[in-house]
Chain A
Amino acid sequence: MIAVAALIIGLVLGLVLQPTVPVVLQPYLPIAVVAALDAVFGGLRANLDGIFDDRVFVISFVANVLVAAMIVFLGDQLGVGGQLSTGVVVVLGIRIFGNVAAIRRHLFRA
Chain B
Amino acid sequence: MWRRSAGTCSGRETLHMKFPRVKLPWPTVRWRPRVRAGMLIGALCGLLGFAFAVQVQSTQGSTLESARQEDLVRILDDLSAREERLRGEIAEQQAARAEISSGSNRSGAALDQARKRADELGVLAGTVAARGPGVVITIDESSQRLPAELLLDALEELRGAGTEAVSFTGGGISGRSVEVRVGASTWFADRGDGIAVDGTQLTAPYKITAIGDGQTIAAALNVPGGVIDTVRRAGGGVRVEQVDDVTITSLRPIKRPQYARPAK
Contact = CB atoms under 8 A, between A and B. Distances in A.
B45 A52 contact: no
A77 interface: no
B61 to A, nearest CB: 9
Interface of A is mostly: helix
Contacts of B70: 81-82
Given A21-B55, A50-B3, A6 B68 contact: no
B47 A46 contact: no
A32 B49 CA distance: 12
Main secondary structure of the interface of B (DSSP, over half): helix
Contact of A54 (B33, B45, B49, B52): B33
A54 B35 CA distance: 10
Interface in B40-74: 40-55, 57-59, 66, 68, 70-71
Given A29-B51, A63-B15, A52 B37 contact: no
Nearest to B34: A54
Interface residues of A, number: 50
A52 B40 contact: no
B246 to A, nearest CB: 68
A56 B50 contact: no
A58 B1 contact: no
A8 B66 CA distance: 24
A33 B48 contact: yes
B262 interface: no
A42 to B, nearest CB: 6
B3 A52 contact: yes
Interface of A: 1-15, 18-21, 26-27, 29-30, 32-33, 36-37, 40, 42-43, 45-47, 49-63, 81-82
Interface of B: 1-5, 8-13, 15-16, 21, 33-34, 37-55, 57-59, 66, 68, 70-71
16 contacts: A2-B1, A3-B41, A7-B49, A30-B55, A32-B51, A36-B48, A40-B48, A42-B12, A46-B12, A49-B10, A50-B3, A50-B5, A53-B13, A54-B37, A56-B15, A59-B15
